[in-house]
Amino acid sequence: MADRVQEILSYYSSDNAGTKTNIARLLRSGKLAGTGKLVILPVDQGFEHGPARSFAPNPPGYNPHYHFQLAIDAGCNAYAAPLGFLEAGVSQYAGQIPLILKLNNHDVLHDDKDPMPSVTGSVKDALRLGCSAVGFTIYPGSTHCNAMYEQLRAIAEEAKDNGLAVVVWSYPRGSALSKEGETAMDVVAYAAQIAAQLGAHIIKVKLPTAHLEQAAAKKVYESIDIPIKTLAERVKHVVQSAFDGRRIVIFSGGAKSEDKNVFEEARAIRDGGGFGSIIGRNSFQRPKAEAVKFLQTIMGIYAGEVQ
């Protein structure tokens, strides 16, 4: 298993020892340590969706400490959150789990077909808080995407210079895309490629459907007969689109869903060669004991302990 981590680290040959150490820290922490797989707990939903929508289903989630402890108890590889949530608990949980500081966020207090997140944290904040990585969202398809790409380019350069890993949430969204197009096969694969080209070490995307949004891309998919019928095939294609699997690609859990559906998705991610999951609402919107069991079942699927 240690060889698998070393293999993954070899994909990042241009990075300095500090950044590689932090990538290794993510891969060698928690229940999945050494397997090359990741399950990360992200809790940026309070900012992104509002507190009641995020935490009212399980009120202990209003407390920032709850999420640190949940991630630790479940054996997650890392915990990701915006500045305020990390500041509120980092002293009490220092060194117990790798942290990812989310550096930009977007609220839903106005209808925004072409979103542009605000930068809400800095590389300096991440270093002060002892983080292993910074996280940044881009919205390919938004009319503001070029500004986001330029922000990410500068932040990634600074993070790497300071030995941090870079995690990119690459979520297609904008007036040029249909709602169905946000998770279309060709669009999600494109989003993964864009994140990789912008220097991401770890790329977070949504699970793709079989829908094809772009007419020009659809011709290629159909003429070459790229396999995308099953979810595992679509995961494999997304991973292939991120430098042929030489960048870590993890998949978001989305809104709370039936457990059996989430577990089936995890099996597809595993079978398609995905590197794991980043699961927020499906985990923290339930009582802690149930959430720990839920997350550890997903980890068991990735580790081959649960079929």
Question: Could you read off the pLDDT of 69-90 as tens digits, one per residue?
Answer: 999 999 999 999 999 999 999 9
Which is nearest to 118 in space by CA: 83, 92, 91?
A: 83
Assign 2 a pLDDT band (cuts: 50, 70, 90).
Answer: low
The average pLDDT across 180-208 equals 98
Cβ atoms of 257 and 289 closer than 8 Å = no
Task: Report the SS3 class of residue 276.
Answer: strand
Cβ atoms of 226 and 234 closer than 8 Å = no
pTM above 0.95, yes or no: yes
Number of domains in the chain: 1
Assign 257 a pLDDT band (cuts: 50, 70, 90).
Answer: confident
135 backbone dihedrals φ, ψ, rounded to 5°:
-120, 145
104: how many CB neighbours lie within 10 A of its CB? 23
d(CA 117, CA 154): 16
88: how many CB neighbours lie within 10 A of its CB? 15
The DSSP output letter for 60 is G
> Which residues belong to the active site?
204
Helical ranges in the chain per DSSP H: 2-10, 17-27, 45-49, 51-55, 64-74, 83-87, 123-128, 145-161, 185-197, 215-224, 231-241, 259-271, 281-284, 288-303
Give, in degrees to the nearest 5, the angle at Cα 61 between 202 and 269: 35
Give, in degrees to the nearest 5, the angle at Cα 303 between 299 and 307: 85
DSSP element (H, E) containing 94: none
Question: Could you read off the pLDDT of 199-236 as tens digits, one per residue?
Answer: 999 999 999 999 999 999 999 999 999 999 999 999 99
Give, in degrees to the nearest 5, the angle at Cα 255 between 249 and 261: 75
Assign 158 a pLDDT band (cuts: 50, 70, 90).
Answer: very high
Residue 239 has pLDDT above 60, yes or no: yes
Question: Could you read off the pLDDT of 45-72 as tens digits, one per residue?
Answer: 999 999 999 999 999 999 999 999 999 9
The DSSP output letter for 182 is G
The confidence score (pLDDT) of residue 1 equals 53
Residue 10: which CATH number? 3.20.20.70
Q: How far is CA 152 from the centre of its chain?
A: 15
The confidence score (pLDDT) of residue 122 equals 98
Give residue 45's domain range: 2-303
The confidence score (pLDDT) of residue 104 equals 98
Assign 93 a pLDDT band (cuts: 50, 70, 90).
Answer: very high
